[in-house]
Homo-oligomer: A and B are copies of this chain.
Amino acid sequence: MATATYTVEGMTCGHCVSSVEEELSDVAGVTNVDVDLATGQVTVTSSEPVDDTAVRAAVAEAGYTLRD
């Protein structure tokens, strides 16, 4: 199992949180996504380490930006 933490910019409400969770949950191998709206901190748990590129693409798909 692998856990990685990211910061997502631009989320303003619970709908935004749901969108990010939904897109990240669709990334292959991801088993859990936890989003803290106040800080933008997103914790992704997966069966195997997930490529950051896939995470970045999923966050972009939801309409937000991964902080570098």
Contacts and interface: CB of A to CB of B under 8 A. Distances in A.
Interface of A: 12-13, 15-16, 19
Contacts of A13: 12-13, 15-16
For chain A, what secondary structure do more than half of its interface residues adopt (helix, strand, loop), or is it mixed?
Answer: helix
Contacts of A16: 13, 15
A28 B13 CA distance: 28
A64 to B, nearest CB: 10
Given A13-B15, A15-B15, A15-B19, 5 more contacts: A12-B12, A12-B13, A13-B13, A13-B16, A15-B16
Contacts of A19: 15
Nearest to A17: B15
